[in-house]
Structures are given as structure tokens and as C-alpha cells.
A and B are shown apart, each in its own frame.
Chain A
């Protein structure tokens, strides 16, 4: 026997279940009057700096059907590449941009949609710049532990080509699963980022 190291174990994850909205977006499921507004629905205000964009898509299961009960959270830097977090030591983020958003997939179509800003570049641990990206976290019924992935931008070919994280993906054919296509919707640049949980087009998920 040796001395115990004394660490605790992380609480094990469990699925968020089909009714995750009750606790995370209660107003959206018509549980009104408990709290004023659901957290994370609105990311940008008139004072927020940066290019307004729409990020939208679906989360598909292994049969190609969209999840209508998924909950999607995003976390991203501001337009200058700073995170609005006490852990950010490189500078001060835009005080008018929290950087975190949360949206339920539509109960009928399964589409999710965020109105946000395009993030600036942030450094990898060795100082090289990563390409602009948005961190995604997906939970739903049938998902036992939240899935982490990243969305990169289809109009950032040069930055994507030198991103140290994308370079870690050995199977280059899988890199496009992380790159959103740019279009225009209601006059705003719109990035479509579909997430495939399983199968031929399976999105790259991270153990971070």
C-alpha cells in the first residue's frame, strides 16, 4: 500500500434528458414568471463591437434526423480576441459582450440559431494564433456526456490552414466537419454549421 493522493473524483455526467429546457430555458417552454428571461439567448447589444453574424444549423443523429430536443451552448472571444472571463489575463474583453450563448433546437424543425459577432483570433499555448472559432457544447436526450466541438469560418482559409488545433486532426478529410459555410440571411453574414453526431459526416468532437 502507498499513501493516498487525496484527489476527489469528478461527479459523473448524466444525460440532460428531453426536458432540459425546464431548467435552462424555462420561459421557452412556457414556465413563465419564475425568472425574467432565459440566460444566453441574446449575445449582442447596440454597444457590442464587431461584425454581426448569424450562426445556425441542425444537430443530426446517426439516421440523419435532426435533434429537436438538443440544447446548444457557445463560448467565444470578442472581436479583438479576448475572452470575457476572470481567467483572461492578456487584456480586457469588450464589456458589452459576454461571449456565452445558449439556444434550444427548434421543437419542430430542430434548427438552432445564434446572433453573435465574429470572434478575433486567440493564441494557442505556444503563442501561435488559432484561427477564429466558436466553442460548442451540445447536450440532449441520448447524449450521456456533453459533446465539445468547435466551429471555424469558411471564409478564413488562410487562418484555418495555419491553425494549430486543426493541424492536430490526422484525418484531413474530417477537418471540413468543423468549418461553417458562409451565406447571407436578412442582410447579415450567416454561417451554417451542421453537427453530425454519428456516421459518414460525423463531426470531430474533442476531449479537452
Chain B
């Protein structure tokens, strides 16, 4: 499938702004000048494609892809959903990467010092490519909450990080998924960088009992929306209308 047309302009009142002082690291890492608005050129309307040959059979199974002595400890879950664009069209062939802490909130990273132990059987990374309907799916352990040095007693809600490649570099997105019903979502200075409550709710995955595997794993549904493109219904210009 070949897309057409430039992308809808990003709604930067829906996304978090760069400068959000309650998230302290953003203070020195936020540009102060206005962004330069640029109509899409071919440099942004194109993007890399990743073939299925890059993906190993266990890449979307975090319960088994780092096994050393046995399976990791924690609540077994399935996370699934679709990658769509703003026109509600599926985005097939999208590379989705995800990473997370273990059940105790500990990341496997050399700069991480939280006292909760690492799980010898949990790496915390996975990836997959969406199918022709834009669907993706992976199996993992539900991550734990995690304290971080921001305020003196700030904790991240349970979350899974997502990195998504659409069909163009203009669609490139990194975000985080949260879990339905977690009270810490509404206390988190990173979540609250997003100004609009409806936008925050778009990042909260719903518990889905219908896709749960009985006696095995709970399921959470998390759809991701990338930027949509203008149609080329009126072909008065080669580059789209």
C-alpha cells in the first residue's frame, strides 16, 4: 500500500509542551524559541521500512525472550491493539518497540540503582511489526510502579514505553501506556505534562476480559494513533492537494 499526501498538522496543544517544570528535567531540555513550521517535504513524508526478517520468533514474548533459569515472576498479561492513523485507517508494517521495568519496578539498565531486585529471567524489551490490519500483540509481565528522583516522593505509575514507526519520519512517535484503574496515573508529573485529560485517557489501556486467557494471562487493549494524511482526491498537483 502506498500512501499519498502530506500529513495533518500535529496538534501541539494535545501533545505535552516542551517546558513542563513539574517534570524537572524538562526545564533545561526544552527549546525556548518557537519551532519552525515546515510544510512536509519528501524528507519527512518518507521513512524507513523494517522487514519481518529483522524480527525473531520470541521478540514479542517478554515472558520467554530472556529466560535463563525459568520464567519471570509477576502477573502474566497480553497487550494487544492496533496502530491506526487519524483517518482511522490501519497502519500495516509498522515497527512497534516496547520496554518496561519488571514486576517490582526495576529496569535492567546499568544506570538504574533502585533497590528492588532485577529478575534473572526478565529482560524487558520487545518488538513486533503490525499485520495487514495494523494489529500487534505481545505477552509480558505487568510492570511495577517505580520511584524516581523528581519530587521527594514521586512514583511512576505502572507503564510500558512504546516506540512506533509509521510509514514516514513525520509519524515517528514515542509514548507510554498506562493501566486502567491505576490511581497513580493522576499523581504523576510526567503524565501531567499532557494538558488535556482526554489525551491522557488515550494512553490508558483497558482491561479486556474477553481476550484474557483463562487460568493464564489477563489482557489489556491499547490502540495507538499516528498522524493521518490528506487525501489526493483532487490531483491538481503532483505532490498532493
Residues of A within 8 A of B (CB): 6-24, 26, 29-31, 33-36, 39, 61-63, 67, 69, 73, 75, 77, 83-89, 98-100, 107, 122-125, 130, 133, 135, 137, 139-148, 150, 165, 168-169, 174, 197-199, 202-208
Is there contact, CB below 8 Å, between B86 and A10? yes
- A88: chain B residues at CB < 8 Å are 42, 46
| Segment touching A, from B72-80, B121-129, B213-221 | B121-129
Is there contact, CB below 8 Å, between A23 and B123? no
B66 adjacent to chain A (CB < 8 Å): yes
- Range of interface residues on chain B? 35 or more
Is there contact, CB below 8 Å, between B174 and A146? yes
A-B interface contact total, Cβ < 8 Å: 273
The closest CB in chain A to the CB of B175 belongs to A14
Q: Which of B11, B29, B202 contacts A140 (CB 8 A)?
A: B29
Is there contact, CB below 8 Å, between B38 and A87? no
Distance in angstroms from A182 CB to nearest chain B CB is 21
* The 10 nearest A-B residue pairs measured at CB: A23-B99, A142-B25, A142-B29, A100-B48, A85-B46, A144-B16, A207-B35, A83-B46, A62-B28, A22-B99
- A7: chain B residues at CB < 8 Å are 8, 86-88, 228
Is there contact, CB below 8 Å, between B65 and A125? no
Interface on chain B toward A: helix, strand, loop, or mixed SS?
Answer: loop
Is there contact, CB below 8 Å, between A165 and B41? yes
Distance in angstroms from B99 CB to nearest chain A CB is 3
The closest CB in chain A to the CB of B176 belongs to A14
- B168: chain A residues at CB < 8 Å are 85, 87
Rounded to whole angstroms, the CA-CA distance of A59 and B170 in the bound complex is 21
- B52: chain A residues at CB < 8 Å are none
Rounded to whole angstroms, the CA-CA distance of A205 and B108 in the bound complex is 32
Is there contact, CB below 8 Å, between A19 and B112? yes
Q: Which of A31, A122, A146 contacts B173 (CB 8 A)?
A: A146
Rounded to whole angstroms, the CA-CA distance of A128 and B20 in the bound complex is 39
Distance in angstroms from A198 CB to nearest chain B CB is 6
The closest CB in chain A to the CB of B39 belongs to A125
Chain B 1-34 near chain A by CB (<8 Å), digits 1 or 0: 0110000111110111110100101111111110
